[in-house]
Structure 1
Amino acid sequence: MSRGNGIANSQIYSIWLKFPELDRPFLEIHEHKVTYDRDQPRVNESGFAHLSFQLKDISGILSQIIQADGAQIGEITDLGTEEKPLLIAYARDPEGNILELEQT
């Protein structure tokens, strides 16, 4: 791994998540044995900004994020119509990564 990522003595635990019966898209999650702290990212930064998830219970998921030492950013906001609501909220996971949550 060290030859590929340029980090001496790199040790990584990796999980690959994919949809049933599909090779793509997939999500690879790395946990490095040695990590370094960084400043909290902002929603409007260049580069990787946030991950977005569609879900059925935005309030319930926000509660779980907060219980896991994450944090809510701003308010749950309805960007839809009365007939077709679209709730969105932003949160930080326990590592400070920004998550966009959408409930349709």
Structure 2
Amino acid sequence: MNVAELDETTRTALEAAAFRRLVAHLRERTDVQNIDMMNLAGFCRNCLSRWYREAAETQGIALTDPEAREIVYGMPYKEWQAKYQKDASPEQKAAFNQANKAGH
């Protein structure tokens, strides 16, 4: 079977499973800082939570940014920041600024 042959329900189930696995992976990898993700991939946990909130809105579901972040982080964002977020190094900040100049 190729991807084009998947029915929408199966495709949606596979996408949901992949999303859940990504979120679980990011929850486990607390050593990976959001700025590193932004510098390497152009998105971070906050982006993912924003996309989740935006998807909820398209379905008529009211979800705040803090609620969406808690879904992605597995805890309130402020708690995650206090436990795991480190100050960005000058090198990380420079890479982030360079990426943003490139139209990120």
TM range (shorter): under 0.3
If the length of structure 1 is used for normalisation, what is the TM-score? 0.27
Q: Which structure has more helix as a fraction of its residues? A: 2
Question: Counting strand residues as a fraction of each chain, which structure ranks higher?
Answer: 1
